[in-house]
Amino acid sequence: MGLVASAGKNNDELVDNLVKHDSIKNERVERIMRLVDRGKFMPENAVEENAYKDSAWKSDLGLPVFLHISAPCIYANVFLL
């Protein structure tokens, strides 16, 4: 869970790596993960370094709000429920 080995340069590479490491276990979840680009939910200054890693991310600025995004592998497992 949260393996740096599951990092990518973009959303498709991240999903490819999650499939390769068996974090994504079915085609429906893979399709959902490809459609929802994680980088769109982060401030621009955090995207390049953080958006496409299989790890949680937290904004500590608090402006306008604190933001926490779970690791993509967590979402992949939740989608299975």
Which residues are marked as active site? 70
In angstroms, the CA 13 to CA 51 distance is 11
Residue with tokens 């500590």: 60
Contact (Cβ atoms closer than 8 angstroms) between residue 18 and residue 6: yes
Q: Where do the H-state alpha helices sit in the chain?
A: 11-20, 27-35, 44-50, 72-79
